[in-house]
Structure 1
Amino acid sequence: MGKDVGGLGFRDLLIFNKALIAKQCWKLISRPNSLTARVLKGCYYPNTSFLVAKPLPSGSMIWKGLIWGRDIIEAGSRWRIGNGSSVKIYGDRWLPRPVTFKTVSPQILDEHTTVSDLFISPGVWDMTCIRASFHVDDAEAILSLPLSSSDLPDRLIWHFEKSRDYYVRSGYQVGCDWMSQASSSRLGRLNDWWNYLWRLRIPPKIKHFIWKACHHWLPTLVNLARSGVKTDVLCSQCKRKAETTCHALWGCPKAKHNRTGCDFLVGIWWGDESHFQDLMVLCANKLASRDFEIFCVLLWRTWFKRNQKVHGNWCDTSEDVLGWSVCFLNEFQNTNWPDEKHKNVAQATKMNWVNPDVGTFKVNTAAVSNGNHYKTGIGVIVRDHKGLVMGAITQPILSLYSPQVAKAIAILKGIQFAMEKDLLPTVIESDAKGVVELINRGVTPCSDVGVITTDILALLATRPISIVYSSRPTNIVAVKLAKIASLATSSKIWVNSAPLSVENLVRGDYTC
């Protein structure tokens, strides 16, 4: 079980083996021309695809194993839309929305309708048809998918990796989620608690002590009796109640004495028969992080003193447990997290926009998402070697794209604008480092951004245009234009000028 669900991070070997086999399934799908894929297709699914192939009683152990591992691929994959001709609107998994990836709207169109029927033209969604045929959630999910003007084939991608390629690590996680039978609401609350525990700045041995206590794995007398050990369950310290985990660490008079001076625990009441983990979740929600860390150390020290009494027949009753816990925690934290003021902090230096070479134009592009209005704003500005503005664009798009896709679209718009106005040769600057690296490597990944980089690379093939990365401070004018676009209702183009709202920023960049 993972640490976020109450385990210690050890893998479930059954699910892990399934994720490993799913890797081989992915190779059959992504490399259909390989020898292995062609042999298996000829034997088991000559007229269909691997995803819908049926298990055969006479199939080999290899084939049965692949069918067993295919469940994970089915749970975590979806179609990336290219030309949309091979993906059915109803039934196929193509929306970027786990866990079904399918539309939930009532069926209005014909069941055999493909995604390509939702295009006005290649690369352009029919917004009127989409909003009339689908529920608003489905419509927004559809319009968030980027389209290419090129005739790209539809492609199966792995949703849970940025590269959209299958990795065993994410396949294992999908398998764990798929196999889990726990209530999602309670599981979500407990996930928050476990993550909070493992992030505490306390010694690992105390984290594991709390972890064992939450699972009732401390050797209290009640837990020993449940395990078959013949013993009296009456608390060995107070001789009043059964020694449960909650009683030993919270309800026993000795435990209460150890909490003397803990003002941050005033008002928290908990019964001896209650679940200790629920007590910890309650305290974690009510206490400040520092106070909760002290509380965890105090519980660990309380258990230590209980063991001194039970196994050593002695206990230092004069010890200030709270004071000891605070000193212990301070020493641990000061050793492992020294004061930030002792670190050397590099002074931030102001970064300015740099003029292009003489005879070259520079195009800065940016994109900003507006979740409230479900829009993406595109900003483009073109300047010459003197820093003079040659043109600018603000373009709102009625779709909410991921940041990487939106910035790739902004680069594409910048290239198209420079070509339309014959502002060549051109240097395109963007603060999307990952997208710039993909373009300069000539890579068209199978992710959604790959749909846009395909069009960009096609334009760059025969034009004197280069793409470079620029930090956000040097791209501030384009960012401002993108913010304006995200609030606008229509596109605007300026020639040899820029909006009044960015003139001061342009003058700040001017370095002739």
Structure 2
Amino acid sequence: MVSSLIDIENRRWNAELIRSLFLPFDANTILNIPLSYNLPKGKVIWIGNRKGEFTVRSAYYITLKVIESDEVGESSYGDPRIPLWGKMWLLKIPAKIWIFSWRACMNALPTKLNLNRKGIDTTVSCPICDQEAETIMDALITCDSARQVWDRWVECPVNLSSAHLDVSDIALKILADGTSKDLETFFVTSWSLWYSRNQVVFETNNQTPNQVWNFARRITQDYKEASNLFSCGDGNPSSIEVIIKDNRGETIAALRMPLNGQYPSLETEVIALEKGVLLAKEMELQQIMLETDALTVVQSLLIGNKEGDLEHLLQGISDTLNPFSSWQIKHLKRDCNRVAHELAQLAKFTGTKQVWKGVSPPTVQHLIQLEKV
């Protein structure tokens, strides 16, 4: 039974028991499931998205993550590009650009010349400049329009115009002389050039070199920002800090504690909110104002929308709030919540739960003074 793995008294996973029963990967997976203090009845949810509902799209993305962690297969034995294949799957780029990059390195893109060689009745000239036969190198590197795009990469670690090179040769040279970020720039910009080329061929929509270059930069930035939503930080267990102030702004209680698992920032904020409500209840406070920098949590509690993978935590908070004579919740910018976040980091080093009532811990006093400066 799952309940046998829970420390009922402290309402937490029994980490010691779990680690003794399961392999490390499975134990960490269990410990990374946040528990509500109220321990509601179990419910099956899909953790592949925020709604908690299975979709083919979310399953596809999870499968890609599994593939990403796999090693390159033995079929590549003897291939000088093995180091490149291994590095490519670790790049922080969208999956479609991984696939495009591999096809470009394998000369497997449907350029005019490649289509002609497959017996398709088409001209072989470049659809952009109409001067050279459209090879992959022409489409991505040597065409005048492509060169104008690459000219914007002022910190390129290799000479892209070197003769007798193909895409995989260039990628290997970047791998040897540059960084992972350089390799990401090369492949994302190449994809952007190919996308622009297809816009000309199929949509008769021509983009300027600046537009192609900036489009590639936006793709990189958007992907990394989206990835950060699911990032759990530095690999250490998460930690929380709760501060309770009176109506004069004076600290009357605080809680600092490390958590068993490693949670994304949103889950950590929800757990901190729940612990704060429980501490306020323990102190027999009747009217409370909750403050958090998690806007989605504020909205969910205000409108009563408690769905997805945080449903049990949000419902637990709502149930715990019922005995209070009144409560409100408002959103703070992260900068305004800096004291709690900095104290939460200290919990990682102490490794123990600490609670102060009726007195403000020295670290809180010090940080609040700094915040007022």
> TM-score, length-normalised on structure 1?
0.47
- Quote the residue 1:454 is aligned against: 315
Q: Which amino acid aligns with 2:169?
A: L
Q: 1:188 to 1:416 in 2, by over 3 A?
A: same
- Quote the residue 1:144 is aligned against: 32
Q: State the alpha-carbon separation in 2 of the partners of residues 144 and 158 from structure 1.
A: 15
Q: Do residues 492 (structure 1) and 369 (structure 2) align?
A: no
Give the superposition deviation at 1:444: 2.6
- Quote the residue 1:115 is aligned against: 2
- Quote the residue 1:431 is aligned against: 293
Q: State the alpha-carbon separation in 2 of the partners of residues 148 and 247 from structure 1.
A: 56
Q: Do residues 132 (structure 1) and 20 (structure 2) align?
A: yes
- Quote the residue 1:165 is aligned against: 53
- Quote the residue 1:278 is aligned against: 168
Q: Which amino acid aligns with 1:391?
A: A
Kept in 2: contact 1:144–1:400 (CA 8 A)? yes
Q: State the alpha-carbon separation in 1 of the partners of residues 87 and 2 from structure 2.
A: 35
- Quote the residue 2:345 is aligned against: 483
- Quote the residue 1:377 is aligned against: 239
- Quote the residue 2:260 is aligned against: 398
Q: After superposition, give the CA deviation of every residue in 1:48-103 in whole Å (9 maximum; x if it has no partner).
A: xxxxxxxxxxxxxxxxxxxxxxxxxxxxxxxxxxxxxxxxxxxxxxxxxxxxxxxx
Kept in 2: contact 1:371–1:400 (CA 8 A)? no
RMSD, aligned α-carbons = 5.0
Q: State the alpha-carbon separation in 2 of the partners of residues 490 and 465 from structure 1.
A: 30
Q: Do residues 189 (structure 1) and 66 (structure 2) align?
A: no
Give the superposition deviation at 1:494: 2.2
Give the fraction of aligned pairs with identical amino acids, expressed as a percent.
Answer: 20
Q: Do residues 217 (structure 1) and 114 (structure 2) align?
A: no
- Quote the residue 1:227 is aligned against: 119
- Quote the residue 1:265 is aligned against: 159
Kept in 2: contact 1:376–1:400 (CA 8 A)? yes
Q: State the alpha-carbon separation in 1 of the partners of residues 62 and 262 from structure 2.
A: 29
Segments of 5+ residues of structure 2 without an aligned counterpart are 73-84, 122-132, 195-206, 215-231
Question: Quick check: which has more Rg, 1 or 2?
Answer: 1
Q: Secondary structure at the match of 1:408?
A: helix
Q: After superposition, give the CA deviation of every residue in 1:446-488 in whole Å (9 maximum; x if it has no partner).
A: 41x2221121111112312222211111111211221111221
Matches within 5 A, 1:70-81: none
Of 242, 248, 256, 1:386 maps to 248
Give the superposition deviation at 1:504: 3.6
Kept in 2: contact 1:379–1:395 (CA 8 A)? yes
Q: 1:264 to 1:509 in 2, by over 3 A?
A: closer
Kept in 1: contact 2:244–2:253 (CA 8 A)? yes
Q: Secondary structure at the match of 2:33?
A: coil
Kept in 2: contact 1:444–1:454 (CA 8 A)? yes
Q: Secondary structure at the match of 1:386?
A: coil
Q: Secondary structure at the match of 2:304?
A: coil
Q: 1:473 to 1:128 in 2, by over 3 A?
A: same
Q: State the alpha-carbon separation in 1 of the partners of residues 351 and 248 from structure 2.
A: 32
Segments of 5+ residues of structure 1 without an aligned counterpart are 1-113, 200-206, 230-242, 301-328, 338-368
Q: Which amino acid aligns with 1:117?
A: S
Give the superposition deviation at 1:269: 6.9
Q: Do residues 417 (structure 1) and 310 (structure 2) align?
A: no
Kept in 1: contact 2:253–2:357 (CA 8 A)? yes
Higher relative contact order (CA 8 A, sep 6+): 2
Kept in 2: contact 1:430–1:475 (CA 8 A)? yes
Q: Which amino acid aligns with 1:189?
A: M
Q: 1:429 to 1:127 in 2, by over 3 A?
A: same
Q: 1:503 to 1:184 in 2, by over 3 A?
A: same
Count of aligned positions: 302
